[in-house]
């Protein structure tokens, strides 16, 4: 009986690992060194934003769950606070959620945000970046894209309070290389 139970548990573990690997390959997170997946989305002002528009600049592409929620507001305020520091480093901030352009416009107005928030209502870009939750909202992940369009650094499960400083420190470190 114990051998049977051990064999069943072993088989279950094998199946779970296999499923996890398959899921990672299907909708995995882009890795450092890879070409960044295409971004072509409307911003809060209705203009189309393409990642290719920022060739020659660092791009902080951050995914967040929902406009006007506590963690997302803290994260956005910190990016806004540090916007000048990012600009000094030739970096732009692009936020992405599955909210509408109208929701983004309201969020930017209420919170005095001046950087672009992109509306991925079709969830295509969020999926491409492995950042879509099962509930249909975005995960809190960030991708630092280098001036040549490659992923330079990836953060998953971001803590909104300290994230802006983390990215600025990473940019400092990458500039030394």
- Name the pairing type of β-strands 116-119 and 91-97: parallel
Burial class, 83, CB count within 10 angstroms (exposed 0-12 / middle 13-18 / buried 19+): middle
Catalytic choice (13, 16, 72, 108) = 72
Contact 46, 101 (CB under 8 A): yes
Residue 13 known to be catalytic: no
Residue 173, CA distances (Å) to 25, 97, 106, 133, 169 in order:
30, 28, 35, 31, 6
Torsion of CA 154, 87, 50, 143, to 10 degrees: 0
What values do phi and psi take at 147, rounded to 5?
A: -60, -10
Contact 94, 116 (CB under 8 A): yes
What values do phi and psi take at 34, rounded to 5?
A: -75, 155
Q: Catalytic residue numbers? A: 72
């Amino acid at each position: 009986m114990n051998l049977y139970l051990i064999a069943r548990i072993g088989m279950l573990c094998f199946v779970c690992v296999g499923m996890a690997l398959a899921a990672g390959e299907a909708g995995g997170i882009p890795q450092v060194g890879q070409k960044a997946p295409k971004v072509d989305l409307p911003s809060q002002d209705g203009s189309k934003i393409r990642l290719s528009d920022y060739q020659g600049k660092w791009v902080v592409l951050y995914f967040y769950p929902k406009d006007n929620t506590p963690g997302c507001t803290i994260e956005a305020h910190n990016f806004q606070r540090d916007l000048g520091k990012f600009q000094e480093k030739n970096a732009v901030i692009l936020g992405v959620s599955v909210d509408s352009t109208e929701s983004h416009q309201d969020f930017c107005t209420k919170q005095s945000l001046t950087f672009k928030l992109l509306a991925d209502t079709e969830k295509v870009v969020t999926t491409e970046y492995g950042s879509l939750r099962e509930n249909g909202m975005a995960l809190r992940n960030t991708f630092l894209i280098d001036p040549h369009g490659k992923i330079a650094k990836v953060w998953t499960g971001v803590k909104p309070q300290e994230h802006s400083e983390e990215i600025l420190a990473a940019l400092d470190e990458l500039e030394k290389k």
